[in-house]
Amino acid sequence: MASVRYELITLGDELLLGLTANSHLTFIGAALGRQGARLGRNVTITDDADAIAAQFRESWARSDVVITTGGLGPTCDDRTREVVAQVLGQELVFEESIRAAIEARFAKLGRRMTDNNLKQAYRFSRGEVLPNANGTAPGLWVEQDGKVLVMLPGPPNELNPMFTEQVLPKLSRLGLLAEREAYVQVRTAGIGESALEVKLQPVLAPHGDALSIAFCAHQGQVDLRLSSPSGALSMERLQDLAQECVTLLGEDFLCIGHDSLAKVCADLLRAGDHTLAVAETATGGLLANCFTDIAGASKFFAGGCVCYSNESKMQLLDVPEDILLQHGAVSSENAVAMAAGVAERLGADYGLAITGFAGPCGGTKENPVGTIFLALYTPGGVWSRRLAQSGPRSAVKQRAVNGALDWLRRELVRAKRGCCGEASKPQRAGGAMQ
């Protein structure tokens, strides 16, 4: 099974022009990975017919399973179906049941079906149709030359359920999935990539080539993946090694698996029966959105405020006007007032606040663009921190959010252990720390 060669061809000029993120790679790679099947390669090419034919021929020759995405739609630039049929020596045949499904979909939306939609009603003469519950273009499934071809429509809300509900079960029935993850992932926060490698040497180094190690750094976090492609180490042994890493990591350990920083915080909040409220300026909703991406967030998340104007800080969070006049909105004093204000307004146990200059404009000599003040209100007191970020607006926002979440996480871990949290040390609120 481990040797099944999967290849993904993603079609679309919009991907190569950087206009759309390649979410198909992320989704399909992860879905296969969770089943122990490893995508070996992903190739993104243009909608040009010659390019499609050449790439498909090459991928088909070297793979066991080829998955294509995109190019099945109704418009003139959708050529994949025709080109691939030709390479495989298959006929395209009109399928009345697809036509009927497309027409029914238009009727349900109260729209008239235009004739160009009919090109989506063709299937391979020796192949199956994967019905599309969320759009007009069905997927196509072909078994030929001892290989499998899966062709999927481009829109993620059509592709994703089709892959999960139809493709994975069919691959499983053919014995092409291992049904379990082939690696163990250890997530960390607050430690750099090279320092992490050095720290974990005692656990990882003794295994030589039997152990495959991969590090992935992103926005203040580093993930470590352990696997054993040769099979020399069992999955149980890999899990034991991961546990040894956890011991060495201490508070820098985030989770084993795929949970986000926000999810780890959410679990800690739920476990302690705590509630959280957040207040943001510069990150403008990104912090709140991290929590509300978690199903069942209403159990622990009281709510949040995005307070751009000084008016809104006073109106929604009871920030005293004096603080804004004396210290400005980008100050540890305002961060502390926001964190305390939102927690008290919403009756939450914890309050987390972010204020700062995300750029590209704004900033002062003392607090240039990239300056972020965080504040954390806890049952034991309220504290602030200053971060200095660089990079474009979106990166500053994301790292400010990650910094805030990691601080909350460490505080909740300490509270759970019954230790004195940082916030409960007898130090003055508003003290700025780098």
Q: How far apart are CA 288 and CA 235, in angstroms?
A: 37
381 binds a second copy (CB under 8 A): no
Q: Which of 125, 157, 230, 234 binds a second copy (CB under 8 A)?
A: 157
316 binds a second copy (CB under 8 A): yes
144 binds a second copy (CB under 8 A): no
197 binds a second copy (CB under 8 A): yes
Q: Which long-range contacts (CB under 8 A, 24 or more apart) does 160-163 make?
A: 160/27, 161/133, 161/134, 162/130, 162/132, 162/133, 163/27, 163/28, 163/31
Nearer to a second copy, 36 or 380 (CB): 36
59 binds a second copy (CB under 8 A): no
Minimum separation from the CB atom of position 384 to a second copy (A): 20
Minimum separation from the CB atom of position 74 to a second copy (A): 4
Q: How far apart are CA 3 and CA 40, in angstroms?
A: 10
H or E segment at 332? helix 332-346
Q: How far apart are CA 292 and CA 417, in angstroms?
A: 26
Q: How far apart are CA 375 and CA 325, in angstroms?
A: 19
Nearer to a second copy, 192 or 379 (CB): 192
The burial of 262, by beta-carbon neighbours within 10 Å (0-12 exposed, 13-18 middle, 19 or more buried), is given as buried
Sequence-distant (≥ 6) Cβ neighbours of residue 238 within 8 angstroms? 183, 184, 211, 226, 227, 228
Q: How far apart are CA 429 and CA 254, in angstroms?
A: 27
Smallest CA-to-CA distance from 287 within 307, 270, 271 is with 307
Minimum separation from the CB atom of position 75 to a second copy (A): 5
- Residues 200-229 interacting with a second copy (rule: CB under 8 A): 212-219, 223, 225
Minimum separation from the CB atom of position 118 to a second copy (A): 10
20 binds a second copy (CB under 8 A): yes
45 binds a second copy (CB under 8 A): yes
103 binds a second copy (CB under 8 A): no
Q: How far apart are CA 230 and CA 61, in angstroms?
A: 24
> Which segment (46-54, 171-179, 236-244, 413-421) binds a second copy by CB under 8 A?
46-54
Q: How far apart are CA 302 and CA 284, in angstroms?
A: 17
Q: Which of 304, 356, 421, 430 binds a second copy (CB under 8 A)?
A: 304
H or E segment at 151? strand 147-152
Q: Which of 47, 252, 333, 411 binds a second copy (CB under 8 A)?
A: 47
> Which segment (6-14, 123-131, 374-382, 407-415) binds a second copy by CB under 8 A?
6-14
User: How many other CB atoms sit within 10 Å of the CB of residue 145?
Assistant: 10
User: How many other CB atoms sit within 10 Å of the CB of residue 330?
Assistant: 21
40 binds a second copy (CB under 8 A): yes
**Cα dist. 161→20, 22, 97, 139, 306 in Å?**
20, 17, 20, 11, 34
Query: What does residue 77 show for φ and ψ, rounded to 5 degrees?
Result: -90, 10
Q: How far apart are CA 105 and CA 122, in angstroms?
A: 17
Q: Which of 50, 114, 236, 418 binds a second copy (CB under 8 A)?
A: 114
Nearer to a second copy, 195 or 419 (CB): 195
> Which segment (72-80, 93-101, 138-146, 416-424) binds a second copy by CB under 8 A?
72-80
424 binds a second copy (CB under 8 A): no
Q: Which of 36, 42, 82, 363 binds a second copy (CB under 8 A)?
A: 42
Q: Which of 390, 417, 420, 432 binds a second copy (CB under 8 A)?
A: 390
- Residues 240-299 interacting with a second copy (rule: CB under 8 A): 258, 277-278, 282-293, 295-298
Nearer to a second copy, 50 or 426 (CB): 50
Tokens 């050529």, residue located: 79
Site string for a second copy, 329-368 (x = CB under 8 A): ----------------xxx----------xxxx-------
305 binds a second copy (CB under 8 A): yes
Q: Which of 57, 61, 77, 326 binds a second copy (CB under 8 A)?
A: 77
Sequence-distant (≥ 6) Cβ neighbours of residue 175 within 8 angstroms? 1
Minimum separation from the CB atom of position 141 to a second copy (A): 21
Nearer to a second copy, 151 or 396 (CB): 396
Phi-psi domain of 305 (left: phi exceeds 0; alpha: psi -120 through 50; beta: other): beta
